[in-house]
Amino acid sequence: MRILPLCILSIAILFSSFSFCEDKTNYLSVEGALVWQSKNDQRIPGNTGTLFSLSDFDRGPFKAYRIYAGKRFNKKHEIRLLYAPLELKLTGEFNQAVNYMGRTFAAGVSTSAYYKFNSYRLTYAYHFDKIKDWELACGLSGKIRDAEVSLTQRGITEQKKNVGFVPLINFQARRALHEKWAVSFDLDGLAAPQGRAFDAAFFLEHNIFAPEIIMFGGYRTVEGGANNDKVYNFAWFHYAVLGLKGFF
């Protein structure tokens, strides 16, 4: 919870630092989404726990949102911040006894699960000169993940929390289709022996009210996880997204 105030403060500093600009290069983007999980596998500890899937409890849809705040300056450079919370509350039954955090959860008994994977990111991207009708950018994102998986059965709860830093590569592409229409692609992702993280979005954009206000919708997918002695966790989420982006 301490991270959110820091993000809000960072956004305020970011915009106040460039308040002298009048070319509307600051932007705020808000997304609302319905989310489905096709995979959410857990084994904690990673080497001795029992493998189970939270997607067997409930695949969705769940409600989610995210907020981007950013700044383009000198036409080539972009800095943006992201706040993307995701919290799921699930209820189900295991089809076998599950060893989780050293405690056994019985099969066939109502079990509550809580899954949290909040993401906070700072991205720098460099925008290249146009290639025909394509606008391309590439950069780096620093991600802080605030994760938790907890199980509750018969009033007994076991939980695993994890907060960590993950570096990612950012890639952006956008192509105008018409005076008021465009398609865009955005990716934060990286894979390593310790695990992987990918967040990719495909959107159709429309200048619905004015050139400074864009309505967009499409598909976002978030996939990744880690595999080590402490934790085995791989999840795959699918987002149906609708949002607004405003420049000021």
198-207: pLDDT as tens digits: 999 999 999 9
Identity (one letter) of the amino acid at 216?
F
Which helix (H) or strand (E) segment holds residue 1: the answer is none
Specify the pTM.
Answer: 0.89
Check residue 230 and give its pLDDT. 92
Question: Residue 48: what pLDDT?
Answer: 94
Comparing 20-24, 90-94, 230-234, the range with the smallest average pLDDT is: 20-24
Confidence grade of residue 21 (pLDDT, cut at 50, 70, 90): very low
Whose CA is closest to 240, among 201, 188, 205, 193? 201
Dist. CA 163–CA 151, nearest whole Å: 18
Q: What is the pLDDT of residue 210?
A: 79
Query: Is the pLDDT score of 176 beyond 70?
Result: yes
Domains delineated in the chain: 3-247 (2.40.128.90)
Whether residue 8 has pLDDT greater than 60: no
CA distance 248 to 246: 7
Q: What is the pLDDT of residue 178?
A: 83
Q: What is the pLDDT of residue 165?
A: 95
> How sure is the predictor about 105, in pLDDT bands with cuts at 50, 70 and 90?
very high
Which one, of 83, 150, 70, lies nearest residue 114 by Cα? 150
- Phi then psi for residue 211, to 5 deg, are -60, -25
Between residues 194 and 86, the one the model is more confident about: 86
Structure confidence at residue 151 (pLDDT): 98
153: exposed, middle or buried (C-beta count within 10 Å: 0-12, 13-18, 19+)?
buried
pLDDT of residue 10 exceeding 60, the answer is no
Please list the residues that pair with 137 across neighbouring strands: 127, 172
Residue range 47-60: average pLDDT?
97
- Give the separation between CA 54 and CA 232, rounded to whole angstroms: 13
